[in-house]
Amino acid sequence: MLSKLKQPIRVRIAPSPTGFLHIGTARTALFNWLFAKKYGGAFVLRIEDTDLERSDSKYETDIIESLKWLGLEWDEGPLDADQRGLNADSRGKFTGEFGPYRQSERLEIYEKYIKKLLDEKLAYYCYCDKEELEAERQALLAQGFPPKYSGKCRSTSSRQVRLASKHQGKPQVIRFIVPEIKLTFKDLIRGDISFDTGLIGDIAIAKDLHTPLYNFAVVIDDFEMKISHVIRGEDHIANTPKQILIQKALGFSQPEYAHLPLILDPDRSKMSKRYSATSINEYKKEGYLSEALINFMVLLGWHPQDDKEIMSREELIEKFDLGRTQKAGAVFNVAKLEWINGQYIKSLTDEQLFERLEDFGVDTKNLPERQFLKIIALIKERMKTLSEFNSLADFFFKLPDYSPRLLIWKNASQEKILKNLEMVLALVPDKQKITALAEKEGRGEVLWPLRVALSGKEFSPGPLEIMDALGEKETIQRIAAAIQKLKS
């Protein structure tokens, strides 16, 4: 498939800045990025911001920062665009060295092509208002027909329409004339997909010469940016025939298409804010590692030939094969995400995890770094996210209040536990002697109360390891406090 291509591999991610970057769009960006890296191609970022009412610069900032945090940096910049033969007016403007493109800065380009379709009688002004269109839609539905525009403004002269119009000659949209044919395109994931375009009706491609709509602008951008492959979610399948027809009308070449399976919530319903539609920034705030999130997202609808689950970025590029993408919906499994994240945390050295925790906002200055690293070594195996560090390690920094009853091991007497703690106190910091005492008096009767005395918790790392992380002085103070609890 790829060896026969004459043009370079060029893919894009084209989010709309009307919301924060979420898992669905990020997964699409990842598949495009991997495809580009696999075949030495270019990954382009295009901000589709022609919806001025809903677009917001804060969302664009979030999209850019989230992609960078994930390590999905785009390749296109002014120099690259020149080298690839993209002329200046098709590039758009750039912020910084590498993009992105913005549709709002490319309006003159769209206007040129809208005029071309109008001049060649392949598009026309439509004067029908929303009320008319809705009435027409409801009438067709009532008769059991698919709702589509009747094309009445196509068949009536502009002058007659103006005279009859309630809008005093003001057009509402510009429509593209959709030929009634059977159209088939090859999807790299799903095979041949066919449409009867007679069911579509003439589609709106712009509000006016300066305000293109999605299906038109995306065709122009993909052509001008020399996009070779359009890899996107299956919710765009219905848009593909419309875009192909516009391509044909303008004499454009057709890119290859691949539609990824939708991401479903655990109950197999559509994405929700609770799981898959949560913003990437929220996962970052919850303490997920970017490389773990990348690893998790690639498994949403794809798997390597060897079914390996934990893979480095380099392995993903090497193993990635778009043909192994599944057609069925990909279920978002939170437990699997936590497991993968935990595996990545465990794979970090204590020093690397220290740096990650610092970046995450954990206060690492209240203990010497050497002592902090000992705490990390004890807690790391139990961490699923960075945010869990504080709850798992809080007792190292401040002993929580606990009931004296927690110090009692099973059916042991209070006197026995008190005596054992007093003997342990006399042996600190000699761990070998404490271990020997436990073998003599009973491991549960010695090590359980010692662990509770040091952590104040029912579940924690082993007491001898805690002793090492706390240091001799703090260990003695905590055992003495436990003895006082039992005495009182």
Among 93, 115, 182, 273, the active-site one is 273
Note whether residue 342 is domain-resident: no
Is residue 21 within 8 A of residue 62, CB to CB? The reply is yes
> Residue 88: its pLDDT value, please?
41
CB 221 within 8 A of CB 254: no
Which amino acid is present at 259?
H
- Ramachandran region of residue 252, left (φ > 0), alpha (ψ -120 to 50) or beta? beta
The Cα 486–Cα 421 span in angstroms is 10
Tell me what the mean pLDDT of segment 109-131 comes to: 94
pLDDT tier, 287 (very low <50, low <70, confident <90, very high otherwise) = very high
Is position 420 within any domain? yes
Q: For position 160, what pLDDT does the model report? A: 67
- Is 273 an active-site residue? yes
pLDDT at 483 over 70: yes
Confidence class for position 365, pLDDT limits 50, 70, 90: very high
Ramachandran bin of 198, using left for φ above 0, alpha for ψ from -120 to 50, beta for the remaining angles? alpha
Q: List Cα–Cα distances, 310 to 50, 120, 288, 307, in angstroms.
A: 39, 55, 15, 9
Closest by CA to 441, choosing from 407, 416, 411, is 416
Q: pLDDT value at position 164?
A: 61
Give the range of the structural domain holding residue 434, as residue numbers without chain letter: 399-487
| 191 located within any domain | no
Write down the mean pLDDT value for the chain: 91
Q: Which residues contact 399 (CB under 8 A, 6 or more apart)?
A: 455, 456, 478, 481
Give Cα 323 distance to the centre of its chain.
Answer: 22
Q: Is 481 helix (H, G, I), strand (E, B) or coil?
A: helix
* CB-CB contact of 369 with 350 (8 Å): no
Examine residue 407 and state whether it is found in any structural domain, yes or no: yes
Model confidence pTM above 0.85 = yes
For residue 396, what is the DSSP state? H
Task: Say how far apart CA 403 and CA 115 lie, in whole Å.
Answer: 80
- State the amino acid at position 255 in one-letter form: P
Task: Name every residue whose Cβ is closer than 8 Å to that of residue 248 and which is 6 or more positions away in sequence.
Answer: 254
Q: Looking at the predicted structure, is the pLDDT value of residue 26 above 70?
A: yes
What are the respective helix, strand and coil percentages of the chain, to the nearest 5?
50, 10, 35
Overall average pLDDT of the 331-351 stretch:
97
Q: Bridge-partner residues for 46, per DSSP? A: 101
Kindly report the backbone phi and psi dihedral angles of residue 174, in degrees, each rounded to the nearest multiple of 5, phi listed first.
-110, 130
Domain assignment present for residue 62? The answer is no
- Give the pLDDT of residue 129: 83
Instruction: Let me know how many helices (H) and strands (E) the chain has, helices first.
Output: 22, 13
The tokens describing 440, both together, are 């003599």
pLDDT of 180 > 50? The answer is yes
pLDDT for 130 equals: 83
As a whole number of angstroms, the distance between CA 341 and CA 271 comes to: 21
CA neighbor of 98 nearest in space, from 110, 86, 81 = 81
Whole-angstrom distance, CA of residue 52 vs CA of residue 211: 10
361 against 84, higher pLDDT:
361
Long-range pairs, 1-5, Cβ under 8 A, ≥24: 1/188, 2/39, 5/228
Model confidence at 184, pLDDT cuts 50, 70, 90, reads very high
Q: What is the pLDDT of residues 199-236, one digit of tens each?
A: 999 999 999 999 999 999 999 999 999 999 999 999 99
Cβ count near 179 (within 10 Å): 13
- Please state the domain count of the chain: 1
Kind and range of the H or E run holding 13 = strand 10-13
SS3 at position 7: coil
152 is known to lie in a ligand binding site:
no
Confidence at residue 62, expressed as pLDDT on a 0 to 100 scale? 96
CA dist 479 and 110 (Å) reads 76
Write out the two tokens for 140: 């067709």
Q: For 79-89, what is the mean pLDDT? A: 44
> With 90 as the cut, is the pLDDT of residue 3 above it?
no
Contacts of 269 (CB under 8 A, 6+ apart): none
- Is residue 426 predicted with pLDDT exceeding 90? yes
Structure tokens, 368: 């010497």
φ and ψ at 204, to 5 degrees? -75, 130
Q: CATH number, domain at 428?
A: 1.10.10.350
Q: What is the tens place of the pLDDT at every residue in 249-278?
A: 999 999 999 999 999 988 888 876 666 568
The mean pLDDT of 12-19, rounded to a whole number, is 96
Q: At what angle do helices 23-38 and 290-298 cross, to 10 degrees?
A: 80
* Residue 30: per-residue pLDDT: 98
* β-bridge mates for residue 102, sequence order: 47
- Quickly list H helices, 71-213: 78-83, 88-91, 107-119, 130-142, 152-155, 158-164
- When pLDDT is averaged across residues 304-320 and rounded to a whole number, the result is 96
Q: Is position 474 within any domain?
A: yes
Is the per-residue pLDDT at 158 higher than 70? no
92 burial via Cβ count (<10 Å: 0-12, 13-18, 19+): buried
Whole-number pLDDT of residue 189: 97
Both tokens of residue 200? 């579509």
Q: Is pLDDT above 80 for 310?
A: yes
The count of residues in the chain is 488
Whole-angstrom Cα distance, residue 278 to residue 378? 31
Distance between first and last Cα of the chain: 79
Residue 162 in any domain: the answer is no
Residue 464 lies in a domain: yes
